[in-house]
Amino acid sequence: MLVLDAGNALFKTPEPEGEPGARERAELLLEQMDALGTSAMAVGARDLVLGTDFLKQATRKSKMKVLSANLVDAKGKPLFTASTVVKVGQLAFGVVGLSPEGEVRPGVTGRPPAPVALAEARRLREKERVDVVVVLAALPLESAQALAREVGDAVDFVVQSHEGRLPGTAQRPGHATLVPSGERGRQLGRLELTVAGTGPFVDLAEVARARQGLKLLDENIQRARERLAAAKDEAARKPLEETLAGFLSRRQRLEEQARERPVTEGRTQLLSFIQLGPDVPDDPELKARVDRLVAQGSPSH
């Protein structure tokens, strides 16, 4: 199992809040992420409220790698490690971190993410011989979508965080699959992979959705054909013919999406989310520490 975090985990907003307990809360989150076996975390805007020195100091003894391939200081020097390689069984995963483009904090700037990510992904493929490349993209959604298109087949997955969006479905703007990460630690995303062969990953959830869509579409096609057969007036038939043609065209696309690819021809993915609600038991000791932070005036995270 590989545990990753796409960043923006430590503070509620990217602006200094001056709230009681903010530093202690961030330190507790980093401590627990490391205790959970998190291999890597991207540096997001909401992780730099107390500056880069705080983040480096707070993670200096952690096994978890804090990654950003594009954050530089005022002299253009990289502030964090760009990537890491994690072995899971016989598989090697290359993990790249990305931060937002532009000035993130005074003296801290994010270079354009796509060229940096592409170069690092290619290096991981060619030099490290990794099997899967994951980009932890602490970027706005539109930037992450553009990134997934621009990196081509050098990247397999782009895990996005920035706005605190609710869980959604995986998207494929290009070769890479764009994966949402949930919001404010209230969900745990699980991406199950079968890594066999080469090529893009086949989304098993997409197959299931396409099959359900085919079933509903076939019902609409049948109704459209019945209405067309009953229509006698040419003026009434024309829009029905156009509607039926649209249904049939869409059916071809859904048939392709619904086709089960053998694992030997590619690789598969299945995304799901675990909601961390009241039904998930608290760790008593950890809850007591959180309660103390809340009592100091730090809002729950």
- Structure-block tokens of residue 181: 């990460």
* Segment holding 80, helix H or strand E: none
Residues with Cβ < 8 Å from 215, sequence gap 6 or more? none
Asked, for residue 263, whether it belongs to a domain, the answer is no
pLDDT of residue 14: 73
Same domain, 235 and 291: no
Same domain, 119 and 148: yes
Question: What are 204-239's pLDDT values in tens digits?
Answer: 877 777 787 888 888 889 988 998 898 888 888 888
Same domain, 18 and 155: yes
Same domain, 178 and 215: no
User: What is the phi-psi region of residue 244: left when phi exceeds 0, alpha when psi lies from -120 to 50, beta otherwise?
Assistant: alpha
- Structure-block tokens of residue 31: 């401590």
Kindly report the CATH number assigned to the domain that includes residue 152.
3.60.21.10
Same domain, 7 and 41: yes
Asked, for residue 266, whether it belongs to a domain, the answer is no
What is the rounded average pLDDT of the residues 141-155? 93
Asked, for residue 281, whether it belongs to a domain, the answer is yes
Asked, for residue 283, whether it belongs to a domain, the answer is yes
- Give the number of domains in the chain: 2
pLDDT greater than 50 at residue 263: no
Same domain, 88 and 150: yes
Same domain, 106 and 242: no
pLDDT of residue 20: 67
pLDDT of residue 254: 81
Same domain, 37 and 154: yes
Same domain, 163 and 213: no
Contact 93, 86 (CB under 8 A): yes
Same domain, 153 and 253: no
Three-state secondary structure call for residue 217: helix
Question: What are 36-94's pLDDT values in tens digits?
Answer: 999 999 999 999 989 999 999 999 999 999 999 999 999 999 999 999 999 999 999 99
pLDDT greater than 90 at residue 201: no
The DSSP call for residue 77 is: -
Whole domain around residue 285: which residue ranges? 3-189+277-295
Same domain, 129 and 31: yes
Same domain, 107 and 162: yes
Q: What is the percent of the chain where pLDDT is above 70?
A: 91
Q: Who has greater pLDDT, 273 or 284?
A: 284
Q: How confident is the model at residue 264 (pLDDT cuts 50, 70, 90)?
A: very low
Asked, for residue 300, whether it belongs to a domain, the answer is no
Asked, for residue 301, whether it belongs to a domain, the answer is no
- Cα-flanking dihedrals φ and ψ of residue 58, to 5°? -70, -20
User: What is the phi-psi region of residue 296: left when phi exceeds 0, alpha when psi lies from -120 to 50, beta otherwise?
Assistant: alpha
Asked, for residue 235, whether it belongs to a domain, the answer is yes
